[in-house]
Chains A and B, each alone.
Chain A
């Protein structure tokens, strides 16, 4: 009996197991189909299950505050009775900013927890990784926290909608402002040599349209470069009088300082990515940054003109009561709050039909929604063929202390 074992037992066991498995698996497959095609997960349940992946650990963990704030937000909503009597079960889990981990966690949320939607997963790479999967499963990938232009493609990816004002849109606003104020500008662009930089450049050129020849100089840098000094010198040498600065915080600070130090005084547009007073303008030198323009669509918590504003007061009260560990000077907390309010609006519009399909439908029918934390005049509008939330922005100028919004609301032509 024992002699039989070693070499016979293994293949035998394998074979038996396989036969047993195959005969069972038909049933398994049917179960799977039923789960996929049957009633939508959690539709009739007394709670609304929402999933989210966030980088609570890893290189982008500073953004984890978005998930923490939103967890606090839905806790407060539940305490106040939920949404139309339904409690929100908000499951926000760590993906460490790793795309494979995001795939795994999102699969868990969808297949094990049965969430109705995935709300604000963060980062372009992680969102790309789950893009196809969620669209295949017909689960909304709602309000992605990424500025790439990929998320506005309702024809091919009807289950994905971005939240951020996207990079191309922002660049078009700068183009519009340049054309309005100085149609004969000579434009120099500095941009990061990757998708993010190229998205901006494309937006700028699209926005300028026939006047794209106004761009007389372009320079790029790699993320791995030490400085952008030589690029700034080249741009100055081109004789440009307008500088569009499409850089991430470290390089933005360098470029602003360098331009000032070598005596180049163009009209400067700084991309919103680097609009932080604390981490960009202060190291660059506040005096050197005075006069810079950027765009804004929500109220800057550090801007004194909003001190007594009701929207700002509401936010500040929420922060101190519900999320006291959050930073009151961090614009990211404002962003997270507005996104959560927007989701609330979508869920309220759903009425009693809280299903993935209806959530997506309602998200694509937001009309003039304007949470009080947005700048006056900015509203959120979407449609079945228009998944862009923010098509309007206002320009803001740095006065040496803070960003001051000025001028009318600008709408980017599509």
Chain B
């Protein structure tokens, strides 16, 4: 039996390349077994993590990869959620069909919002998106749309049961449904970023002038990224509406937008896996803070946030990468020492 660490050092590059798919397979296996090992409530919590992860992935495409800061992504989450809720409540559309609809609405909305917003850079764009985030809850209460949105009272939805007579509880079914959506959207994002578009997006972040000099259509790509980003977040919003069975203007306060931003920074900017770590953070850490102190949960949350950013400046994803690197280096060193001893 060769210890895994020394295998690393001697393994040819081909085998090393296999490590990622194998680890992914193990993670998937665990993800599939998980809902049967924990209670329905915990399944629901993990489902929320998955939903956050999809939203964070969307924001990360925009902010992490393309370098445009958005403080208003909660608004796209709201749009997606309300699209799904209105379709289900008013038109009795099947829940799974509302996802593409929510995605499409947000893609268009994001693209259209992206067009004028492009003229704004950095902090100005952040302010423009902030305005969107702040106004969204009030727009939803506006009297002429109230008939559709249900005003302050919101819309209550019914949780879907597992189809085809699968022996799953509604929570478990929803978990698998969200997991499938997440895998699909992560695969699409990965593919998107690997290709020509991905390189263009990053180039725009790094050197916008150089990017346009080599022929990249900067405004087009920026708007496109905005649209795609909004689409992801909107689909997450729709999933959230289905999982929570309720939407109301107060569900999408500006704090949601900010906590999404916290999620991508803590999870790791420009990192696909960072979305998952960030989602775990924004799902569980505020609660942890509340458990520590009822008087000042905000202060504790802030401290934990600062600590995490201080200890892992490139996010949890970056931090883990660094740890793995350190570990591998140490293993390599010790294995070379071993070999020397044997020689």
User: Which A residues contact B (CB, under 8 angstroms)?
Assistant: 2, 5-7, 9-10, 12-14, 16-18, 20-22, 24-26, 28-29, 32, 56-59, 67-68, 92-94, 96-100, 103-104, 107-108, 111-112, 123-126, 128-129, 131-133, 150, 193-196, 222-224
| Complex contact A28–B36 (CB within 8 A) | yes
Closest approach, in angstroms, between the C-beta of A118 and any C-beta of chain B?
14
Of the residues B21, B41, B44, B244, contact of A99 by C-beta under 8 Å? B244
Q: How far is the CA of A123 from the CA of B152 in the complex (A)?
A: 11
User: Which B residues contact A (CB, under 8 angstroms)?
Assistant: 15, 18, 21-22, 24-26, 28-29, 32-33, 35-36, 39-42, 44-45, 48, 138, 141, 143, 151-154, 156, 166-169, 172, 240, 244-246, 248-251, 253, 255-256, 286-287, 290, 294-295, 297-298
Q: Which residues of B contact A92 (CB under 8 A)?
A: 294
| Complex contact A104–B245 (CB within 8 A) | no
Q: How far is the CA of A134 from the CA of B55 in the complex (A)?
A: 28
**Interface SS, A side:** helix
| Complex contact B245–A133 (CB within 8 A) | yes
| Complex contact A5–B297 (CB within 8 A) | no
Q: How far is the CA of A96 from the CA of B250 in the complex (A)?
A: 10
Q: How far is the CA of A112 from the CA of B287 in the complex (A)?
A: 15
Q: Which residues of A contact B45 (CB under 8 A)?
A: 104
Q: Which residues of A contact B35 (CB under 8 A)?
A: 21
Task: Return the chain A residue nearest B22 by Cβ.
Answer: A5
Closest approach, in angstroms, between the C-beta of A64 and any C-beta of chain B?
8
Do A32 and B290 form a contact, CB below 8 Å, given A57-B298, A107-B44? no
Q: How far is the CA of A129 from the CA of B150 in the complex (A)?
A: 13
Do A5 and B21 form a contact, CB below 8 Å, given A58-B255, A103-B246, A125-B152? yes
| Complex contact A125–B290 (CB within 8 A) | no
* A–B Cβ pairs within 8 angstroms, 15 of them: A6-B21, A25-B172, A28-B169, A32-B169, A100-B244, A104-B45, A112-B39, A125-B154, A125-B249, A125-B250, A128-B153, A128-B248, A129-B156, A129-B251, A194-B152
| Complex contact B138–A57 (CB within 8 A) | no
| Complex contact B29–A99 (CB within 8 A) | no
Q: Which residues of A contact B29 (CB under 8 A)?
A: 13-14, 16-17
Of the residues A7, A9, A108, contact of B41 by C-beta under 8 Å? A108
Do A99 and B251 form a contact, CB below 8 Å, given A2-B15, A17-B32, A194-B151? yes
| Complex contact B244–A57 (CB within 8 A) | no
Give the 4 A-B CB pairs with smallest separation, nearest first: A17-B32, A6-B21, A111-B41, A129-B246
Q: Which residues of B contact A124 (CB under 8 A)?
A: 152-153
Q: Which residues of A contact B40 (CB under 8 A)?
A: 32, 111
| Complex contact B32–A99 (CB within 8 A) | no
Q: Which residues of B contact A128 (CB under 8 A)?
A: 153-154, 156, 246, 248
